[in-house]
């Protein structure tokens, strides 16, 4: 709401946006039931259509156009959008986000594969640039495996956590 200079005090607007986000989330879950690739295509098409829509509202028409563009089975998609399975998957995502204390977007949570209890949450737009630099510029050298790159990235993040005021939090 801040980015679009929308009033936080407008309860009707907040309720409308909340309903639209919920509907879009269920539709995205329904699209994912037809495969990760098609789900991502659906989401990208929705984002493109909303971006090109001057009012930034998610509608049934946008959902159907995005489903067609992603080559989804429309009958199955429409059934899945309102299914208990989609609602359950959404609630699981919400629970996971709450457990990780994700409170703003964008946020990234990185897990240490050698210690499943260690994870880092990076939030805010500046930290996304930081993460991109860590993963692509500094650690993805030619011939280096992903595991080595991930380990180095975690080491850099741990160093950053201890030695800077960067918005990085241990979870």
Does a structural domain hold residue 41? Answer: yes
Res 114: pLDDT: 77
pTM of the complete model beyond 0.75: no
**Which single residue is written with the structure tokens 């329904």?**
30
Q: What is the pLDDT of residues 57-88, one digit of tens each?
A: 899 999 999 999 999 999 999 999 989 999 99
Range of the domain at 117: 107-170
Domain count of the fold of the chain: 2
| Together in a domain, 85 and 118 | no
Last residue of a domain, one of 82, 99, 116: 99
| Together in a domain, 154 and 77 | no
Does a structural domain hold residue 6? Answer: no
Give Cβ neighbours of residue 119 (< 8 Å, ≥ 6 apart).
100, 109, 110, 111, 112, 171
Does a structural domain hold residue 1? Answer: no
Average pLDDT, the chain: 77
Res 12: pLDDT: 83
| Together in a domain, 81 and 118 | no
Q: What is the pLDDT of residues 96-109, one digit of tens each?
A: 888 888 887 777 77
Rounded-to-integer distance, Cα 101 and Cα 61, Å = 34
Does a structural domain hold residue 158? Answer: yes
| Together in a domain, 48 and 82 | yes
């Amino acid at each position: 709401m801040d980015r679009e200079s929308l009033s936080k005090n407008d309860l009707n607007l907040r309720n409308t946006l909340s309903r639209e986000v919920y509907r879009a989330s269920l539709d995205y879950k329904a699209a994912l039931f037809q495969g990760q690739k098609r789900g991502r295509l659906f989401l990208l098409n929705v984002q493109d259509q909303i971006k090109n829509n001057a009012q930034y509202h998610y509608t049934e028409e946008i959902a159907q156009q995005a489903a067609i563009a992603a080559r989804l089975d429309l009958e199955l998609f429409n059934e899945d959008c309102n299914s208990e399975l989609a609602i359950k998957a959404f609630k699981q995502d919400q629970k996971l986000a709450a457990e990780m204390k994700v409170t703003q977007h964008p946020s990234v949570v990185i897990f240490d594969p050698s210690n499943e209890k260690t994870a880092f949450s990076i939030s805010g737009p500046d930290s996304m640039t930081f993460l991109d630099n860590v993963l692509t510029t500094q650690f993805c050298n030619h011939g280096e495996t992903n595991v080595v790159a991930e380990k180095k990235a975690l080491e850099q993040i741990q160093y950053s956590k201890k030695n800077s005021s960067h918005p990085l939090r241990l979870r």
